[in-house]
Amino acid sequence: MDDLLRLADTDFSSRLILGTGGATSLLALERAIVASGAQLVTVALRRVDVTTPSLMEVLERCGVRLLPNTAGCYTAADAVRTARLGREAFGTDWVKLEVIGDERTLLPDAVELIKAAAQLVADGFVVLPYTTDDPVLARRLADLGCAAVMPAGAPIGSGLGITNPHHLELLREAVTCPVILDAGIGTASDAALAMELGCDAVLLASAVTRAQDPTAMAAAMRHAVIAGRLAARAGRIPRLTHAQASTPGHPTW
């Protein structure tokens, strides 16, 4: 199938990206990764190191690419430093950039995020920044040379879904780079909706890792992202205020 997601110079046939946070065991994680069909898995640099071979082995066994992230960083300086350490440790210049502004919401800090993104792009990183659903900020990040923008649908781990679908549509219009819904997904219909609103991919962790049955939810998410992508391209019917019957007098079916 030729409907591929291109990030930087790499094509992915899966549009679902998985995070590892919240997984209750490596075995549960491995099963979820397999069921999700994900080809890209993000791992918090502050929670893992190369002396933790077991997680790396799981990712390798699943054949997925590692996307290090800077979760837990609250300043540009900290995020940049963490990203650089990650590059050395894991041999990848891809980074999911998180610069958190608030412990209660875990929403990004716009000012520090812009600073860190500019620095990391200049350093040659492929930067995938976690951002708010603000279309103006997203365009700034895209203009800096980020490889994608990753707006939050709702606070990390909240499971609230996409609290502002309208903003996500405005953000989609504002940039030409890939848009990856990141954070907030609670269930399958949220992931499908993200794709229908124009996202190119969906990243989620808790929705799968903390579900009662992570493997089943991972499979649900795989189907949901495919469903949403297909629907977004199929040209949905318009929303009507009133009913529309099948063509009256239609002769055959």
Q: Taking CB under 8 A as the rule, does residue 142 contact its own copies?
A: no
Identified catalytic residue from 15, 31, 96, 167: 96
Single residue of 5, 23, 38, 175 touching its own copies by CB under 8 A: 23
Residue 178 or 228 having the CB closest to its own copies: 228
First to last CA, the chain: 33
Build a one-symbol-per-residue string for 50-89: x at contacts with its own copies by CB under 8 A, - elsewhere: --x-xx---------------xx-----------------
d(CA 4, CA 127): 19
Structure tokens at 169: 């549509």
Contact, 170 vs 189, CB < 8 A? no
Q: Which is nearer to its own copies, 118 or 148 (CB)?
A: 118
Report which secondary-structure segment, H or E, holds 95: strand 94-97
115: annotated active-site residue:
no
CB crowding 40-73: b at 16 or more within 10 Å, else e: bbbbbbbebeeeeeebeebbeebebbbbbbbbeb
- Per CB under 8 A, which of residues 181..210 are in contact with its own copies? 186-193, 196, 205-207, 210
Annotated binding site for 1-deoxy-D-xylulose 5-phosphate: 157, 183-184, 205-206
Give yes or no for residue 163 binding its own copies (CB under 8 A).
yes
